[in-house]
Amino acid sequence: MSHQRHFSDAAVKEPHSVSLKVLRLTRPSLVSQYPLSPPLSSSSSITPPPPLPASLSYSPSSTNPTPFLLSPILALPPSFGSAYVGTTFSCTLCANHDIPPPIDGGPPLSVKTIRDVKIEAEMKTPSSPTLIPLLPPGNDEGTDLSPGGTLQKIVSFDLREEGAHTLVVQVSYYEATSTSGRARMFRKLYQFVCKGLLVVRTKTSALGLGKQGNRRWVLEAQIENSGGGGETGDGGGEVVFMEEIGLELEKGLRGRDLNFWGRGRGREKVVLRAGEGEEVVFVVEEEGEWDGKEEEEGRRVFGVLQIGWRGEGGGRGSLATGRLGTRVLRPREGGAVSKV
């Protein structure tokens, strides 16, 4: 995380006996593979060893005939990475009772007693004017920490909008010595930027009336993976495994899915690398016969497109579009209604 800001009680200038560490929880990702051909035959009499199967993910071979773009090797993220809309942000909060080191090789300093340690976490989103609490209300019970002890909390937050998010963590505790005691508190802010991972573009076309006189439309959608290389600068981007693309229709409508999603029968899961896209098509029709009347607002609403995917490490993501529909023309007064 970037842009850490520290707040503490101004009256106390000495260092805190409790420190805070915030670590993001992410799944390891699969290492991307590149098309490596077998080594060329050497002119010497020594036969080169055969290539490893993992290096032939793109090359036709008897050991790995399927051109799978990822190897079975897992890699831990080297940095914070990128946060995307539709995913869940999770992190662990650790409040540690630090033991002060001795000064200039002298005897160890006296360890203070730390009681009633509490951790509070809140999230500030671009659209919310107030902070959103991340821990349940029952989190207000304090915990005593022995020297070297740790209080750990795990928080999660569903990312639903782009822009700057701020994680606010506050630690409070009671510090006691043999002669006195006092309540202390400090706060830290961690800011990160949430970006869009999938870009959805839609197009609606009139299909004409059905056999029962009901109106029909064709809804086309293009889903593009816009995830770049993140903060690592490797340019590899985010790999997305599409699991679900469905249309939740409004009442009075029925639809046909022409994409065979979820039906199996040999259809492989779609894998989208950065910059790649997938197109889907739905046929939407009214259940009853069209009476020639249009909606008051001049727009026919179909429903919401639901998209589900998994990341390289298996983490789930979901995204819902706004209410999709099409504009409709009102008939002229006193004139006949022309059918679509």
Q: What residue segments make up the domains of the chain, in order of their start?
A: 2-26+78-195, 198-327
Comparing 328 with 109, which gets the higher pLDDT?
328
Contact between 310 and 243 (Cβ < 8 Å): yes
Buried residues in 207-223 as b, exposed as e (16+ CB within 10 A): eebeeeebbbbebebeb
Residue 335 has pLDDT above 90, yes or no: no
**Top-confidence range, 7-21, 163-177, 286-300:** 163-177
**Per CATH, domain 198-327 is 2.10.25:** no
Architecture of domain 2-26+78-195: Sandwich (2.60)
Nearest to 219 by CA among 208, 207, 209, 205: 205
Q: What is the mean pLDDT of residues 100-120?
A: 78
Tokens 């990702």 locate to 29
Distance CA 18, CA 119 (A): 11
pLDDT of the residue at 56: 47
Tokens of 51: 């290539």
pLDDT of the residue at 225: 92
Q: What is the pTM of this model?
A: 0.71
Q: Do 198-327 and 2-26+78-195 have the same topology in CATH?
A: yes
pLDDT of the residue at 332: 46
Tokens of 33: 């593979």
Residue 146 has pLDDT above 70, yes or no: yes
Distance CA 283, CA 207 (A): 9
Q: What is the mean pLDDT of residues 274-303?
A: 77
Contact between 328 and 295 (Cβ < 8 Å): yes
pLDDT digits (tens, 9 = 90+) for 221-238: 999 998 765 443 344 578
pLDDT digits (tens, 9 = 90+) for 48-93: 665 555 444 455 454 545 555 566 677 777 777 788 999 999 999 9
Distance CA 66, CA 298 (A): 50
